[in-house]
Structure formats: C-alpha cells, structure tokens
Structure 1
C-alpha cells in the first residue's frame, strides 16, 4: 500500500512539474490586426538572367475593427515602382514610405470595417539580394528560389519555386505576411512556353504570348495564409490521378 502511494505521489509531482514548466523560447504574441487581407491578384513575370520577379499586385483589404487611414505591408528587399488606389478602371497615386522591409501607405480617406479598398503596387522582387536568417529547418528566408536559372549547370533542371514559411512570402510579393491573415488569390504567371507552372487552386486559363512565353492563370477560392502562397515552374512531366473525386497530380 505504501509503495502504491509513493508511486502515485511521484506521478502527481511529475504531472504538476510538466504543467508548470516554462515554455522554451521567447513569448510570441498573436500579431495585432489593423487591416485584413481579402484577396490577392498578382501579375508576375520572371527575369531568369537576374533571378528577379517583376510584378504588379492588387490587394483587396478591409479594416479589421477600428477605422483606419493607413496600411502597412511587409515587402522585403524590393524595388517599389508605384503605389496607387484602384478606383474602378482608374488608379490614384498614393503617398508611401519604404525602408526595405515595410511599405507604409497613406490612404486617401478613413475606411471602416464595412468597406473594402484596393491598392495596386508595381515592384521588382530581388530575392538573391535579400539576406535574412531562416529557421532551423530552412536556413535562409529569401522566399523565391531560382534553380540553375541560366541553364549553365549540366544535368540540373532549371526551376523556380517559392517557400514562404514562416514570413518569406513578402520577399516576392507585398502582403501582410502573418499567419493570422487569410486571403483568396488569383496569380497570372508569365512563364517560358516550354515550362509547366503550378500554384494554389485551379489552372483556369492559359494564354500564348508573342514573345515565347505563356500566361497561366491560377485561382484559389479558399482563403489561406500568405505563407502558403505558392509558385512553381519547370520542365516537368505531369502525371494526373484522382482520389475520391479530387485531382491528385504528380510533377516529375
């Protein structure tokens, strides 16, 4: 009986110790929301010689709770060409400040959470010029990877792909790069005609261009966090399959 009581006592002490043990690492609060991402529409072309992405993104946003007259986006190591408010078929230039990490935009009025607004940004992403430490699993955080972009390495296929975890998507597209943001997306990717592209959602349209490229339009209707935004392209063979009525394709 005493032996059983001793065992239960030790077990209880272990459970209490486990429950009160301090968590490892610094405390990380949930990022405060001022604006909510609603939709991301990206038109992107790729410069394989410079390993750069030239893009124009239109973000649809809504104030989270309190009215706001400003917007701060994560945009790491980019060249910002223009920032404008989309007003139907026209655009109104906006005042902004950019420090290489954050794009701070002054809106023309105060918006409430019952309103949405659209901001268009033209930019060039330069992932190889952005130096940042990644995590233990991912040693860097440049987000966009050009693999053998000039085709100079024998037996290594030319590829482009992204890896956004945890906040590396904002190296190649201005966004609110937080895991508590959710956005639908439309990506129009101008890729070499010989390559196959891949992104989130469904491939809804392909358009041949006169310069030997093709524009692939991918649409994702389910809102998801920016770190899950994905772009991939390469000389892949696609093996299509399905499982329980859902497409399952293999890119090899």
Structure 2
C-alpha cells in the first residue's frame, strides 16, 4: 500500500517511462549486479537502540549469507545519511566503499560457491523522517493522547536501507527468517514482526524487546512500532490473533477488530489458501500513520472507522461495510508478502491482487452482485496516466493504476474465463503455487495461460504495458451491428457480452470487424460493461 489516496490525482505532468532519466543512484538501488547476485541472504539479526528524543538509531545487523557465485565483494545498502561505524567479518574489520546508498564491502578473500559467512554491520544515525507516511518513506515520531512517544516506520518503495543495513532488493529474502531486537525507553514497548520472545531491562533506562520471524520476509516489511501498547490475544481456528493498540483505545479496538478479522480470515483462507505465516502469527498494530502490510505485524491506522478513513473509495456505499485498512493490508499477507515481485516495476503483482481481495471479501460477505458493484465503483479511481509496469532495474514503480485498474483487469479475466468454479480454483492454485516465492510478470501470465488453456498474454499486456484500455468500436453495417477491438497490442482477443431485446449473448471479438449474428440496430444493442473494463465507441 503506498499510492492509494491519490490514484485518481496522479501527477498530470508525468512523462512516459521512455522519456524519464535514471541515474547511477537508481541503478545501484534497483539493479542486480554481481555484488548482489553472488550471495544469498540466509538471515538478518537486528539489534538496535532507538532514542525517541534524539530520533536516533544505534546498533548492528548480523547478516548471514551463502555464496552463490565466487566473490570477494558484496553490496549491502544503507542510506548515505546514516553512519557506517564498522563492518566485522571473522573478527576482522572489513574495508568498504560507499557510493550513494550502496556500501561495497571487501571480504578480504574470494569466497567460493556454497560457503557461508556472517558479517556484523555496526551503524548509527538519524533516519529520514517521513513527511506523509506511508506515501513517502521514513520514520514517524508522534505522541499519543497521554503525551507518550508513538513511533512507526514505513519504507515501501523508498527502501528498507533507509533505517538499517540490508540487501535492499525484493529479489532476495532471508531464507530462514530474522530477529528484531529493539531497545526503547522504559515504559514503552516495541512490537516487530513474528513472535515475541521476551523483554529485558537493560538497567540504563531502556528495555529491549525481542522478536523472531520464522518465515522468509520482504525487507521493507521488517518493522518497529513503539508506544505504550496494550496487548490483546485471541485464537481463531488454530491461528493466533494478536492486537497491539494504544492504551486509550483498548475497548473500541476489541469490538472493531472482532467485526472484520474472523470473517476476513474465513474468506481469504477459503479463496487464497491457509494464512501464509501461521508459524509467525497474525497481528494488527496501531500506528501513527494509515497502514502498511508489514508481514505478521500489519500496521493499522484507520482510526477504528469503516471504509477508508470514513470514506468509501468505490462511492457505492459498499466500501462502508468494512474497515478498508484491515482488509486491504491483510490481503497483502497472501499477495505481496507471500507471493512477491522480484522487481518493484512489477508491484502490480502485489497491489492488483490485493485490491481485488477487497471485492473477494465483499463477495464472501455480501454476494457476487455487490462485489461486481464494488469493483465497478472503483473505476472512477483509474487515471490511465502511464503503464502499470515500471522500468526494471532502477527501483521504479509504474502507475498507481496498479491498484484499481489492476483489479479491473483481474475481474475482466474472470469473466473471460466465464466459469467461476474454474476461476476460484485458479486463484487458489496461484496463491499456493507461489507461496513464499519471488516471481515476475512473465511467471504470472504463463501460469494464467496454462491454467485457463487460453492465450491471455495480449490481455495482460494491454492493461499492464500500455496507458489505454481496450476500446470496443461498434458500427452499423446494413442490418447487422459490427464490432472490433482497437488496442495497442496485436492479435487481441476478448469476448463481449451484449443484450438484444432482453436476450443476452457473447461474441468472441478480435481486432478485425465481426458481425453480431443477430440482426439489430445500434440502438437495440446494449453492451455489458459491468463485468469487463473497456471503452465503448460507437462509430
């Protein structure tokens, strides 16, 4: 979740990707070079102290890795406003060179494939403070109603290296989990990902809170949440549900979460498979910003309101029947946290499926017709400003249309398939096939083609790689109405549903003119745009 609030207002002056200028800094952050691909991260063990008054971090990250290709140099990332205090490997300090946010570390030897190692990266500094989290990356330092510190961090897109040293690419997650140990002033609690292991009074005015993640985890999902939290625990059908909320909000939080979380888990697990991080549990953590899909510690800041901060993004009224942040950000546990895009240029793999999960929840609770109505209402948020897929290798996301246009595309494909039993089996198999895996657009398209037995590549390409949506051109030719698709891609094929005199039928339409078999006039033919997302042009 990053661009939701202004997907319909996105920068009217944006240039096309082809005209954009990318720098060495972009390549260092987004690219995959030997210093990154030569090693595979096995585990992160973060141990830090956060001083709220000074807004500083000091500590270290133990990075355990396995060599994939022989190398004597690796790249670890840390924003250049943060200090590298020292880097230790085999009890010796290593030499390093900084270039923008990249830290190139010399290992003092050429390590061979299969060999494992661990560096301890000491660092300190004042991390960037977000101006408007989560839409820009950084820390948020606020006070609760009792005047106590309330701190969070959100870095999706900006980069996890904003606040800790890390191999900052979605192409590599720690294979064997991570630990996060954070010392905060006494009287405050830190909540991070995974399971709580315990706390220790350090006898210096600080208490350290220890957390352990068993599953692979996106680096931007690793988080800290600092406040005077109250902990509420539940277990639902074998899944631990934990809520950490500000002390003043305990009573209303308990009632509010009860309304959505259990029906949501029933729905999502029936459609997408077992919750992907059961061993780490499920948490909602109240944050001083709107929300973020931090794995097993979902950031919640929707003020215990229905809708999106009390508003309905679909303008149908249906969006006011559930808490948008709870549903959307939890949907990311399956799509984004479990099934992960290799490059942020393919972030539609996270956001399109997760936005679609909202309508899945509506369908589970209110039925198919309401779900289709909800999706149709989301069209007003589509700007068609630039392609959904961004530029690869330069840390560049595509259009914010990856949310609402992306869900329109998936709904369109559902109705191309035109077999709901087959569709839900496909979605379930997709989620389970790529559970805890890192994939790309080509992988998704190939999967959908194979499972449906259709060539959906032109459909995916039109919605994802071009600004325009398919345009259905319609004309009168003597006693028949003719139709064709006008698209940027060639060999485009998609059915169209139409009604004549109360009778509904479908015609498989291509880029070539075709006659609707029933004799009729343009005025007699009604085209169903509710189920599929396209532009209608009568010539």
Alignment partner, residue 55 of structure 1 = 59
Q: Deviations over 1:19-42 (max 9, x none)?
A: xxxxx8469987452321111111
* Correspondence for 2:171: 180
Map of 2:399 onto structure 1: none
Q: Name 2:98's counterpart in structure 1.
A: 98
1:110 aligns with 2:113: no
The Cα shift of 1:98 comes to 2.0
Contact 2:189 2:209 in 1 (8 A): no
Structure 1 residue 140 corresponds to structure 2 residue 125: no
Instruction: Considering fraction of residues, name the structure with more strand.
Output: 1
- How far the C-alpha of 1:79 sits from its partner, in A, is 0.9
* Alignment check: 8 A CA contact 1:41 1:187 kept: yes
Q: Could you give the per-residue CA deviations for residues 68-114 of structure 1, whole angstroms, max 9, x where no partner exists?
A: 110111100211111110x3xxx101111124511111011111231
The offset of 1:223, in angstroms, is 1.4
Which whole-Å CA distance do the structure 2 matches of 1:250 and 1:138 have between them? 20
In structure 2, the partner of 1:18 is none
Question: Residues 13-52 of structure 1 correspond to what in structure 2 (within 5 A)?
Answer: 25=17, 31-32=32-33, 33-52=37-56
Q: 2:191 aligns with which of 193, 198, 213?
A: 198
- Larger deviation: 119-128 or 169-178? 119-128
Q: 1:165 and 2:156 equivalent?
A: yes
Matched, 1:70 2:65: no
TM-score (norm 1): 0.76
Tell me the SS of whatever aligns to 1:170.
helix
More helix per residue? 2
Structure having the higher Rg: 2
Q: Which has the higher contact order (CA 8 A, sep 6+)?
A: 1
Alignment coverage as a number of residue pairs: 215
Q: 1:187–1:123: structure 2 CA closer, same or farther, 3 Å change rule?
A: same
- Mapped to 2, the partners of 1:169 and 1:160 lie a distance apart of 16
Contact 1:196 1:234 in 2 (8 A): yes
Equivalence map 1:209-248=2 (5 Å): 209-248=202-241
The offset of 1:238, in angstroms, is 1.3
Cα RMSD of the aligned pairs, angstroms, is 2.6
TM-score, normalising length: structure 2: 0.37
The 1:216–1:110 alpha-carbon spacing in structure 2 relative to 1, beyond 3 Å, is same
Name the counterpart of 1:124.
Answer: 124
Q: Which 4+ stretches in 1 moved above 4 angstroms?
A: 24-30, 154-157
Q: Does the 8 A contact of 1:207 with 1:214 survive in 2?
A: yes
- Given that 1:200 and 1:220 are in contact with CA atoms closer than 8 Å, whether structure 2 keeps it comes out as yes
